[in-house]
Structures are given as structure tokens and as C-alpha cells.
Chains A and B, each alone.
Chain A
Amino acid sequence: MLNVGKIEEGFVLDHIQAGKSMAIYHHLGLDKLDCTVAIIKNARSGKMGKKDILKVECDIDTLDLDVLAFIDHNITVNVIKDGVIVEKRALILPREIHGVIRCHNPRCISSIEQELPHIFYLADEANEIYRCKYCDEKYTDNDADFIS
């Protein structure tokens, strides 16, 4: 068993689908932060079999919870202070996401208009379907193109 020390101040993202932690690390911009980040892959999980975990030693406010909820709203967000969990933040699917993913429809105006923000709206909450605000193209995991 590999041991990773606990953090004093920061947050822990738990129950990340195994293999997704590196993608989340990049999409949340954690690579740009000057703080301690631990990426734990394929940890044993009673509920999930295998899971990833991210431990980040910085202020929770630096985290874009909308982006995280869009990627996977089943992730558990634990806020840590003085080495203990003081809060669990629930992730709610955002109504709109701005500048997170690109629309892949070549007929969409966002493919040619200068500096137009890529915006997706939550079209169907029950089925977690997002569509491009401009052309209504459905976002699918298969053609995910995150804006770095």
C-alpha cells in the first residue's frame, strides 16, 4: 500500500473515475498553480473498484466547481482545514459552461467568428446533455475538445 500524507489546508477530490485524474488536473488548471498537488491513480475503492484521487494544497476558491461538475458531478469535494474535513461541497450540473469545451460542428458560427466564447447549455438535466448555445449541437464524450 502506497501512503500519501494528509494535507493541512486545501481540498481533496475523491471518487474520480479511474484514469480521469490527469484530465481533471489539466482542465482545472492545477498545472498552473504553485502548490502541492498529489495525484493518486487506481486507488482501491469499495464502491468503485478503482478510483483516482486528487489532493491539492491551496484555497478551494481557486477551483472552478462548474468545470468539475461538468466533467463529473459524482466527484466528492472535501474541503480541508487544519488537517480535517470541514465541508463537503456538492457538485451541481452548471446551467451553462463558458470557454471549457469547443463545439465540433463545422457548420457552427463558433468555428469562424473571432474571439467568440464557446458556450454550452444544459439541455436535458436528467440525461446530462449539453448543447452548443449557437447551433444546438449535442456535446458527446467522444468528441470532447477541451479549451486549455
Chain B
Amino acid sequence: MSRLRHMMSPLDFSTDELDRLFDVAGDIEHNMGAYAHACDGRIMATCFYEPSTRTRLSFETAMLRLGGKTIGFADASNSSASKGESVSDTIRVISCFADICAMRHPKEGAPMVAAEKSLIPVINAGDGGHQHPTQTLTDLLTIRSLYGSLSGFTIGLCGDLKFGRTVHSLINALSRYQNIHFIFISPQELRVPDYITEMLSSKGITYEEVVRLEDVMPRLDLLYMTRVQKERFFNEEDYIRLKGFYVLDKAKMQLAKKEMFVLHPLPRVNEISVDIDDDPRAAYFRQVQYGLYVRMALILTLLDLTDEHMNEGLLKTY
């Protein structure tokens, strides 16, 4: 029997393991039908202690597309947490019902606590402002699929680089690949934290910090836009001032390379004009699709079902 594995952070998997995961996701993209019964008879519990439409639906769709079934709750008020049950006890109970669990929790580290007590694989589907590994896996798969590689490019990260957990997680994950140059584009108040730039420096990875998006657009191979999150501000005035700081529109896109892709973890507010949604370089809705593929691949990997399908000839080797 294989070792029980969980997904708490994108760094839980080596780059080789991630390559394998993305190979499976790539095969799913092109041969979705071959996976329609891969999880027949399996059940996924989606334990969402706080609301999240996109992530929960993505996980549930992933399991349904694999032929499995889902159970769960969409917010804490519908769970035994409202009666005061601990995360440790909840996961012990869920382990009796389901084969795998995706957990979102407002408290940071809650999925890790669950994983320590669980008898089934646990996927961190977001824990407060801490980690959201499947978003990072989505971002990596999107870059690999569209750009063709996870090495050798210049990526601009724009917007709220101070509070945005998706940005921090993506930088950490990309720092394990070769020849990536980071350009951080943000107002002074929302600059990337020091510990991130210190980590990059210690690994000899190059980066720049700039304020104006227009100045660097022509040099970017990828642009990762982020939303300025209202809930991170104590002061309404600061939020209003900074939320309009960057708006990616047609004029700015004209400065970019013809093959520069725009990514965004969504939801967006006003930082990307709807005018560019039809631009072939706008990849943020395709990114959602890749999120489904990577979650399907992750479920198969954690349930140790990829080899089984490989043996049946369902998987093609890329």
C-alpha cells in the first residue's frame, strides 16, 4: 500500500512530481473521456468552512468528471463546527465516509491539522491568507501549457503584491525553476514583502521592483494581474485610492509582446478591462479550465490511481 499523501503547499511536491502531475493534467485536457470512470465508486468530501464558489465547484466538478461522487458542506454554519467540533474530530469522522477530502478553512493551518489526523488524503483548498496550493498548481499548469515551459521567461506580477497569497505562493513555486526574471509592479504601499525578495536574492534569482506597468510591458512574457482586496484594508480611503492604481486596458496591451499571456486568479474587479477579454493573450478564463484539469490530476495522484490508468493504456506519455 502506498504512503498516504496530502497537498498542503505546492512545495510538498518535488518539481519532478509536479511535472508528472502536469503530464496527467495535460492528458486529461486532450483525453477527458478516457478518465470518465477513473474514480468510479470513490467519494470526495468538500469541507468548506467558508464560502468559495469557484474553488468548491472546481473540486466537485473534477471529482464528478472522474466518475466519482461528492459530499460536503459549503459553509461552517452547515457543519458540526457550529456545535464546537474540532477540525481533528471532523476529519476523523469524514475519513469514515469519504476517500479524499478538500478542505477550505478561515483559520490558517487548519487543513494541516486535519491531515495529521486523517486516514484519507487531504487537499488544502485555501486556509485564510496562508496557502492556496491548487491555485498555484493551476497557475503553473497554465504557464506550462501556454508558454510551453516553466523556465526561461520574464514574468510581471502586478497589483497587490503585499497581501496577495496567490502571488507569494506562485513566486515560491517558480523560484525552483531556471532562468526566471521577476518584475514586481505595485504601488509603494503594496510592495512584495522583504522575506520574498530576500529568498530570491539568496537563490541568485533576479528581480526588479517598479511602479509603472507601462514601463515594463514590452519586456514581459507573462503578466500576472491581481485584485486589490478590500478586506485587507482598515482604511476605506486607502482602498479606493489603490484599487484604481492599475487597470489593464487595450492601450497597455498594445505595448506588450504579441505572445504575452495575461493571467489572473479571479475574481477581478476593475483591474482588467472587459475590452481585452477577447484578446487571444487574455488567458484568465482558460486558467480556470486548467484549474479543473490540475485538480482532476491531483485527485488521481493522491488516490494513487494514475499508474493504474497508465497500465490500462489510458494515459499517453508526453
Contacts and interface: CB of A to CB of B under 8 A. Distances in A.
Interface of A: 105, 107-114, 116, 132-137
27 contacts: A107-B106, A107-B107, A107-B129, A108-B109, A109-B87, A109-B109, A109-B113, A109-B127, A110-B109, A111-B107, A112-B107, A113-B86, A113-B87, A113-B88, A113-B110, A114-B86, A116-B113, A133-B109, A134-B109, A134-B112, A134-B113, A135-B108, A135-B109, A135-B128, A136-B108, A136-B130, A137-B108
B108 A108 contact: yes
B65 interface: no
**By DSSP majority rule, is chain A's interface helix, strand, loop, or mixed?**
loop
Interface residues of B, number: 15
Interface of B: 86-88, 105-110, 112-113, 127-130
In order of increasing CB-CB distance, the 5 nearest A-B pairs are A134-B109, A135-B108, A109-B107, A109-B109, A109-B110
A110 B113 CA distance: 9
Nearest to B84: A114
Contacts of A105: 108
A33 B109 CA distance: 36
B167 to A, nearest CB: 15
Nearest to B131: A136
A110 B130 CA distance: 14
Contacts of B106: 107
A108 to B, nearest CB: 5
Nearest to A138: B195
A12 B87 CA distance: 44
B44 to A, nearest CB: 22
B107 A108 contact: yes
Given A107-B107, A109-B87, A109-B105, A135 B113 contact: no
Contacts of B86: 113-114
Contacts of A136: 108, 130
Contacts of B105: 109
A77 B146 CA distance: 59
B196 to A, nearest CB: 13
Contacts of B128: 107, 135
Contacts of B88: 113-114, 116
